[in-house]
Structure 1
């Protein structure tokens, strides 16, 4: 059996994050939305809001939390991809939108999940 690749671990982290958020009432709309501007790991609905979610995984927390790895450049790519998604889907019925980050740190066989709602905003 081959060891898990970085991509495999990322997919497992996204699956874990999706289940975690669904258990808290969010509904999955789309997974792994890709466009030329970027990628969004999860798109979910939280009551009346559309939520664009970035999932970050780190094996150990000694180099900072997974959430700390969301740079301004990454935020810009997420915003651009979200705008593309909204244009493609007709504005998602004019729902309010937000950007959340789920950070998963795995250490000593245990996963620590941190959900940061409204992690960053679009500058107008």
Structure 2
């Protein structure tokens, strides 16, 4: 059976939609969403001027276990880097670009349901 991406929860998709809207407002251009292969998955692949940006989107509704950004551990970072290498092999037209790994962290800070979105450039 061929490998396929198992898309996550609606909450995760909503967080990605919010992140995508925010990043587009900042001038980034979407190339791919949920690029996946056997090594892992990258939520958003975007261009900021000539820089290829691989973006991990994390959302947390409860902060007692840490904020959303802190959930991107070394193992997840390694998977994203390996997936980015596969992306560059598949889309050779971007192989000359400088690459950056960013994170979007969305945390619920209060009972009103207000979430904060933080863009962390060069997160790892």
Q: Normalized against structure 2, the TM-score is what?
A: 0.88
1:112 aligns with 2:101: no
Report the alpha carbon displacement of residue 111 of structure 1 after superposing the two structures with TM.
1.4
Match of 2:3 in 1: none
Q: Which has the higher strand share?
A: 1
The secondary structure found in structure 1 opposite 2:122 is: strand
CA RMSD, 1 decimal: 1.2
Please list the CA deviations of residues 72-110 of structure 1 after superposition, one character each: whole Å capped at 9, or x if unmatched. 000000000000000011151411000000000124211
Give the ranges of 4+ consecutive aligned residues of structure 1 lying more than 4 Å apart after TM superposition.
Answer: none
Does the 8 A contact of 2:53 with 2:102 survive in 1?
yes
Partner of 1:96: 98
Mapping of 1:5-20 within 5 angstroms? 7-20=9-22
Matched with 1:67 is 69
User: CA-to-partner distance for each residue in 1:13-60, whole Å, 9 max, x for gaps?
Assistant: 000000011111111111000100000000000011000000001002
Task: Give the structure with the larger helix fraction.
Answer: 1
Matched, 1:87 2:89: yes
Q: Which runs of 5+ in 1 are unaligned?
A: 1-5
Number of residue equivalences = 115
- TM-score normalised by structure 1 residue count: 0.88
